[in-house]
Amino acid sequence: MPALEFRSADARFRVHVPGATVQRLLHLCRSSGMLETGGILVGGYSATLDCARVSAASGPSGDSVRGPSSFQRGTRGLQKWLERRWTARGDHYLGEWHFHPYAPPVPSNTDLQQLGRIARTADYRCPEPILLIVGGDPAGKWLISAHVVPKGQTAVPLQLIQSPADHFAPCWSSSQ
């Protein structure tokens, strides 16, 4: 599975999702069937701080609430998982992800309000949280959307970079 790379129209925000992480997201979505699912994203930033690299995505914690058109991420076990990722790899909390089964990967007002709260809450230490939404059929035709919500601002949609012809160098190489 190839990596995915997203960027804002002004190239101020970029997100790199390695192929292995995309595969994990699709696996978690397939396992969820017709129910929404989700979790958190962790990783790091490029030296210039203009690109986030998602190194891992958690699955839903045991206290998450899932429905056919709703998902409320729980917290059970996430702190321990985050601490292990920090100790082993120096990973930071980057944001959230969830699945819209057989629906477009369009964030709801609730999704965007949640990210706005995360951006404003000092405990998260994440003033520009990322939201990835997987939509469609994870075993067939699927799409992933990416958004970032800078503190005190509205959501910024990120576009999938389709090819090198987009005239932007990748924000993360396999050697980083």
Catalytic amino acids?
Answer: 36
Q: Which residues contact 167 (CB under 8 A, 6 or more apart)?
A: none
**Alpha-carbon distance 43 to 33, whole Å?**
27
CA distance readout (Å), 59 to 7, 27, 76, 106:
25, 10, 11, 20
CB burial class (10 A; 0-12, 13-18, 19+) of residue 60?
Answer: buried
**Using an 8 Å Cβ cutoff, are 109 and 115 in contact?**
no
Alpha-carbon distance 57 to 99, whole Å?
A: 12
Count Cα neighbours of 108 within 13 Å in the Cβ-side half-sphere.
13
The type of residue at 172 is W
